[in-house]
Amino acid sequence: MTDCKKHDSHDHVHGPGCGHQAIEHDGHVDYLHDGHLHHAHDGHYDEHTIAVSETNPDACTPDHRCGGHEEGHVHGPGCGHEAVPHGDHIDYLVDGHLHHVHGDHCDDHGPVKLVSS
Ligand SMILES: [Zn+2]
Ligand SMILES: [Zn+2]
Ligand SMILES: [Zn+2]
Ligand SMILES: [Zn+2]
Ligand SMILES: [Zn+2]
Ligand SMILES: [Zn+2]
Ligand SMILES: [Zn+2]
């Protein structure tokens, strides 16, 4: 299914307590790291992407009320939320949900399972 997209020269080892948010993805655990989803694989890290699915649709939800952050919060680098690769775009992790910046609102692209470390 997924081909092996290798992350070059990664000198950090992800694991419980490493400081990166771990999430459950397709039955395994990945780590969010600078907007990448890292999966330990055979001595290197693969880049994973959350697939667009029924659970995580790629849809506009203009009626979504952004709980978890103030209304008018604009996601972006350094906004305080983790960036998560989803389909062909980047979402932000808010309270276990994927938020997608869309015009003046956030789309809700579904839940992800957080793994506490
Ligand atoms: Zn990476
Ligand atoms: Zn880490
Ligand atoms: Zn994965
Ligand atoms: Zn939208
Ligand atoms: Zn944000
Ligand atoms: Zn949002
Ligand atoms: Zn998305």
The one-letter amino acid at 3: D
Q: Which tokens hold the place of 79?
A: 């906004």
Asked if residue 72 is part of any domain, the answer here is no
Which ligand sits closest to the CA of 34? 1
Asked if residue 61 is part of any domain, the answer here is no
| pTM of this structure | 0.88
Which ligand sits closest to the CA of 81? 5
C-alpha neighbours within 13 Å on the C-beta side of residue 83: 14
pLDDT of residue 104: 85
φ, ψ of residue 72 to 5 degrees: the values are: 90, -5
Asked if residue 12 is part of any domain, the answer here is yes
Asked if residue 78 is part of any domain, the answer here is no
Q: If you measure from the C-alpha of residue 100 to the centroid of ligand 7, how many angstroms do you get, rounded to a whole number? A: 5
Asked if residue 25 is part of any domain, the answer here is yes
Q: If you measure from the C-alpha of residue 9 to the centroid of ligand 6, how many angstroms do you get, rounded to a whole number? A: 32
Which ligand sits closest to the CA of 19? 2
- C-alpha 82: how far from chain center: 7
Asked if residue 29 is part of any domain, the answer here is yes
What are the beta bridge partners of residue 113? 24
Structural domain span for residue 35: 6-48
pLDDT of residue 1: 43
pLDDT of residue 89: 97
Question: 89 in helix, strand or coil?
Answer: strand
Asked if residue 64 is part of any domain, the answer here is no
Asked if residue 41 is part of any domain, the answer here is yes
Residues with CB under 5 A from ligand 5 (ion): 75, 79, 81, 92
Give the count of domains, the chain.
1
pLDDT in tens, the chain (117 residues): 446 788 877 889 999 999 999 999 999 999 999 999 999 998 899 999 999 999 999 999 988 777 789 888 999 989 999 999 999 999 999 999 999 999 888 999 999 999 986
CA 114 – CA 117 distance, rounded (Å): 9
Q: If you measure from the C-alpha of residue 92 to the centroid of ligand 5, how many angstroms do you get, rounded to a whole number? A: 6
Q: If you measure from the C-alpha of residue 71 to the centroid of ligand 5, how many angstroms do you get, rounded to a whole number? A: 11
